[in-house]
């Protein structure tokens, strides 16, 4: 068993959409440094962006005064991303009632994010936090071994 530290990062970001892009780039750089392919890195970045952006846009007031929590753990070829929101936006019921296994109608301009996350990730869990918000946990693995 290796004593090498496992790559991780935790972040608490203000509920502002302009913070999402830089956080995506941090995750992508970390995965690229671990040998993930360009395609797998981009897919993980897209998944992270969708989950974090949903937390900011729909799980908060989206005014920069609240916080979204992000925890990323990498063990072997599995990346686990946990994102929590304050629950002051649409509320946890909106997240939990959505059927992520069904694509939204083609003429819909929104609503594809969680469907894509569900389709692209190895596993996706959703639930309520103790403080009235919601969480999304996503596990991702690369298609190509690093």
Residue 145 lies in a domain: no
Residue 105 pLDDT grade (very low, low, confident, very high; cuts 50, 70, 90): confident
User: Does 146 map to a domain?
Assistant: no
Quick check: 1 pLDDT over 60? Answer: no
92 lies in some domain: yes
Q: Is the pLDDT of residue 94 over 60?
A: yes
146 or 9, which is more confident:
9
Question: Average pLDDT, whole number, for the chain?
Answer: 92
Judged against a pLDDT cut of 80, whether residue 4 lies above it is answered with no
pLDDT band at 16 (very low <50, low <70, confident <90, very high): very high
Residue 35 lies inside a defined structural domain of this protein: yes
What is the reported pLDDT for 70? Answer: 98
Domain that holds residue 27: 8-140
Is residue 16 in a domain?
A: yes
Residue 95 contacts residue 134 (beta carbons within 8 Å): yes
Share of the chain above pLDDT 70, in %: 98
| The pLDDT of residue 146 is above 90 | no
Residue 26 lies in a domain: yes
Q: How many domains does the chain have?
A: 1
Mean per-residue pLDDT for 30-34? 94
Average pLDDT over residues 56-73: 96
- Measured CA to CA, the distance from residue 119 to residue 37 in angstroms comes to 19
Q: What average pLDDT does this structure show over 14-38?
A: 95
Binning the chain into helix, strand and coil, the percentages to the nearest 5 are 35, 25, 40
Domain assignment present for residue 106? The answer is yes
User: Residue 59's domain is classified under what CATH number?
Assistant: 3.30.565.10
User: Which strand ranges, in their side-by-side order, compose the sheet holding 67-75?
Assistant: 8-14, 67-75, 78-84, 134-140, 123-128
**What band does 57 get if pLDDT is binned at 50, 70 and 90?**
very high
């Amino acid at each position: 068993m290796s004593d090498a530290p496992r790559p991780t990062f935790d972040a608490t970001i203000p509920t502002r959409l302009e913070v999402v892009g830089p956080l995506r780039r941090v995750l992508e750089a970390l995965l690229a440094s671990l040998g993930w392919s360009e395609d797998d890195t981009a897919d993980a970045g897209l998944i992270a962006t969708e989950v974090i952006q949903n937390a900011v846009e729909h799980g908060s007031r989206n005014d920069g005064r609240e916080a979204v929590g992000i925890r990323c753990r990498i063990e072997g070829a599995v990346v686990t991303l946990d994102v929590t929101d304050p629950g002051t936006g649409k509320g946890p019921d909106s997240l939990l009632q959505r059927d992520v296994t069904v694509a939204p109608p083609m003429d819909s301009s929104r609503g594809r994010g969680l469907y894509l996350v569900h389709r692209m990730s190895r596993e996706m869990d959703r639930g309520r936090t103790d403080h009235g918000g919601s969480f999304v946990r996503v596990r991702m693995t690369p298609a190509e071994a690093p």
